[in-house]
Amino acid sequence: MNGGTADPASPAVRAVWCESAWLGSEGVADAVRIEVDADGYVAGVRPGHPAQEGDVVLHGVAFPAAANGHSHAFHRALRGRTHDRGGTFWTWRETMYRAARALTPALYEDLATAAYAEMVAAGWTSVAEFHYIHHLPDGTPYGQGTGEPHAMELALARAAVRAGIRLTLLDTCYLAGGFGQPIEDGQRRFSDGSAERWLERLDALRATVAGLYPDHHVSVGAALHSVRAVPERDLAVIADRLPAGLPLHVHLSEQPAENKDCLRATGVTPAGLLQRHGLVDGRLSVVHATHLGEEDIALLGGAGAGVVLCPTTEADLADGLGPAGPLRAAGAVLALGTDQHAVVDPWLEMRALEHGERLRTGRRGHFDPEVLHGIASSGGARAQGRRSAGIGAGSVADLMAIDPHTARTAGSSWDQLAYTATAQDVTGVVVGGELTARNGTHITLGDPAESLVAAIARLDAAAAADDPTSASGYTHPRERH
């Protein structure tokens, strides 16, 4: 497959020339010219060919770009602010809610643009955005007297277009504060009130986005925030009415308390509750899945469901080590996500996945480099309902290149760079055959750090104005999500 060539009747309109490129099981080849068709797909791969005038040139070793399977863009503003008094999983709520209350469409567009630019520069070229800030802070929908309909969702779409990242906007159903608990004040802007109203808004959003953006750039999927946030009655409605084939994501078994509460309220685990309503299948992607029982693992694996693991987030929050190896062995399709963006680095996520399994089992060699790259690229793309990036005919021409001669990578076997490289070593990122970032700098947006500093400062100011008792912004968290 990697040696395929373009159809002479349909010549590639552009090409990416790589000093070296990783060709999967074939290893690393030198002087690889990747031909790209007009739609941004690989039309042919020619190892040992010289660069031609007009080619995009990638220095170092090129790999398929990564697909981010789970993001909350506004959580990027919380990095390094949730560790006072040690920090726990539950030290997120007040901090997150203050940020969520302060967000406007304009503020969210600025922050998401900066966060997505950071992702692109690191090697992520697509993202599944788990989005639940739908309405005004009091719960009034945008478009009912204030702002355009779908104002927050369209702000994220514009941010993705500006950053040049492919966006799967996972519009999230969030209806309860817990099992048998009503929505709280800080959650009002998350909720549509019922599954029926959420489905109506989801249908309208899909039509609006489809009229504005090509599907390969911005698409809409669905998410359930969690089984604790969507009552069982509403799960049944969603299972019956959700359009077939639409990607569906859900936070699942992230904490032992969620499992205990679900068992107490429904008699089954969270995975079992989804199965009760026919929602466990190949289009489902569960996020975190840290605290699964053996029956849950067998259920998800047997259905070929996706599992989006976020190793650096789960480490940051002391969530625990999820059963990545058993899930893959059972048949689940693994993907990686950055979730709260404590780290935005696909190379560190890949390495943390393998290291987590080593720590969990006491032995090495669970995920070899080829498997890790597959999880980071094709696993994440599948979770988004997208075609995968790759260096082979028909793949999406999204690439990231690594300098093999830095202080971190020097001496590494080039086919084992997944165990040594970081985003600091990324020399270039290509999206659809177009150079989008080089050496940590976004081609059109510049240094992501500058945009992040400015966007977070604006959000801090808005949060302080919204809560005058916290002049420094949001610094005393309680819990997350």
Catalytic residues: 288, 339
> Which secondary structure element, helix H or strand E, spans residue 128, and what is its range?
strand 124-131
CA distance 286 to 307: 5
Contact 299, 270 (CB under 8 A): no
Helix axes 151-163, 195-212, angle to 10 degrees: 40
CA dihedral 132, 134, 136, 141 (to 10 degrees): -150
Could you tell me which residues come within 8 angstroms of residue 240 by beta carbon, excluding any fewer than 6 positions away? none
Contact 447, 441 (CB under 8 A): yes
* Both structure tokens of 78: 């919380």
**3-state DSSP helix/strand/coil % of the chain, to nearest 5:** 40, 20, 40
Contact 402, 61 (CB under 8 A): yes
- DSSP 8-state secondary structure symbol assigned to residue 445: T
CA distance 242 to 449: 39
CB burial of 301-332 (b: ≥16 within 10 Å; e: otherwise) equals: bebbbbbbbbbbbbbbbebbbbbbbbbbebeb
Identify the residue whose tokens are 């922050």. 111
End-to-end CA distance of the chain: 42
CA distance 113 to 455: 9
- Total Cβ atoms within 10 A of residue 57: 15
Could you tell me which residues come within 8 angstroms of residue 177 by beta carbon, excluding any fewer than 6 positions away? 183, 184, 187, 229
CA distance 384 to 285: 9
* Both structure tokens of 47: 């190892």
CA-closest candidate to residue 228, choices 175, 292, 299, 272: 175
Contact 305, 281 (CB under 8 A): yes
CA distance 274 to 23: 39
